[in-house]
Amino acid sequence: MGAPPYRIWEMINRSETGIFMEEKDFVRKRLIPEIQKTVKKHEVKYDPAFPVNISDTMADKVWNAAVDAFLAIGVYNKSTHRVISFTEEEIKEAFLSLPGSYIFGAGKDARPFIAREIEDKRPPFMLYSPDITYDESDHLKACVAYLKEPLLDGLCAPILENFFGDKINSHSPTELGGSLMHAMNLLEAARLVGRPGVHLVAVGTAEADSSQIHVSSNEYGVRTTDSRLVASTTELETNNELLNKGLHYHQFGCYSGNLAGAIFGGYAGGAEGTAVLQTAYHIMGNLLYSSHYEQNFPFHLKYGSNTGTEMLWITSVYSQAIARNTKMPQTSNGFANAGPGTEMLYYETAAHSLASTVSGANLWEMAPARNKYPNRGTPLECRLAAEVGYGAALSGMTRKDANAIVKKLVKKYEENIPDAPIGKTFREMYAVERAIPNKEAADQYKEIKRDLKNLGVPFPY
């Protein structure tokens, strides 16, 4: 687990008794100036020649800057208007207590989830996740299609858009019902494909704390062998509803991940500040929520993606900062600009997978079309990310070699980021009844793999 359980109550107490401050003052007087100060103090510097960071020194600078920034800033509770503060001793204690690995899932479907090292030859834990909503009629078959993928270690399922024909509204009975349907569809799909014990991250349909609590069940919902996410809001903020989720997950007994995405172009500024802030979120998750792992998705303010050169550097350097200085398992969540069935999406996916894998991250792939368009996500882009991740690890690829390949890949799509195509829907690419790609999609996948191999991208087969 993360920090010792008794600290949960200490953190909740601090969220009620800490320094009182309005949110705008927290942002203007603590967050922004402290990020800027620590970036300058530790000489964190982005180099566009290296979308994959190759400097251990720079990774350590990012870690040290993140520690200083987190201690100076703390976490803001929007419900109580209080600042939750921490000490350096608590950071050291909490990270020392991490075991460095877990067993996710159950029985024959259990898999090790580990804190990987830089240039680790152990393949990343492969968490498939489209991160978008699906129509109610397609949700179960979409879950089946993802769970049929051989390299999948876990699934963060498609999210439901509707429940019994009605659009799901947050904090309403439709959310309770939709969340339960989401969980039950996952369990049914897992059993249908012969993977009843597979690790599931659920349920994204449940935004409210009441909905998450509603689906906690080893019989019909989210099980103790599964994991849940508790978010950190922009930036370094929480609220009582999120604290409720984090507390419930531990008391129920499932695994918990801290979900955080620092915004490039937001309060943290450019690439340097965003990398420091994303690193700091690992500290927040461990100390505040006692999270078992960190789920990272830094993204560009304008595009909502993380596959541009700056974003890939951010991803690589914070991943390396954590891998070098902690035993905290982490995942790298890809957010692409282009949608399914486009060559651009596959290039973006390969670049993100390579940069993340050689930097010590596990993979959480892939959110297409800027995570905006319902039904536009398929297992194929996730499959590509997994095969590239396995190829990079098993071939012993170095950061230097990965950097050279990623630069080639980025050249193929970066100029198209502002006007990226949204691609095709799940139904346009899959024979939904059988939950398999149609011939056109399957042939395109084979062709793109040949192209990527010619560019030097490693594949395990």
For the segment 98-117, what is each residue's pLDDT rounded down to a tens digit? 999 999 999 999 999 999 99
Check whether 140 has a pLDDT greater than 70.
Answer: yes
Going from N- to C-terminal start, the domains of the chain cover 101-454
Tell me what pLDDT residue 2 has: 45
423-443 mean pLDDT: 97
Mean pLDDT on 211-240: 96
pLDDT number for residue 8 = 85
pLDDT value for 6: 61
Taking residues 419-447, what's their average pLDDT?
98
- Confirm whether pTM is higher than 0.85: yes
In the predicted model, what is the mean pLDDT of residues 259-280? 98
* pLDDT number for residue 5: 65
Least confident of 4-8, 148-152, 188-192: 4-8
The predicted structure's pLDDT at residue 131: 87
The tens digit of pLDDT for each residue in 308-357 reads 999 999 999 999 999 999 999 999 999 999 999 999 999 999 999 999 99
Task: Say what the pLDDT of residue 158 is.
Answer: 85
- What would the pLDDT profile of 4-40 be if each residue is shown by its tens digit? 566 888 999 999 999 999 999 999 999 999 999 999 9
| CATH code of the domain made up of 101-454 | 3.20.20.460
- Give the residue carrying structure tokens 């035993």: 327
pLDDT of 3 over the 90 cut: no
Average pLDDT, stretch 70-79? 98
Region 40-54 average pLDDT: 98
Name the pLDDT band for 206 (thresholds 50, 70, 90). Answer: very high
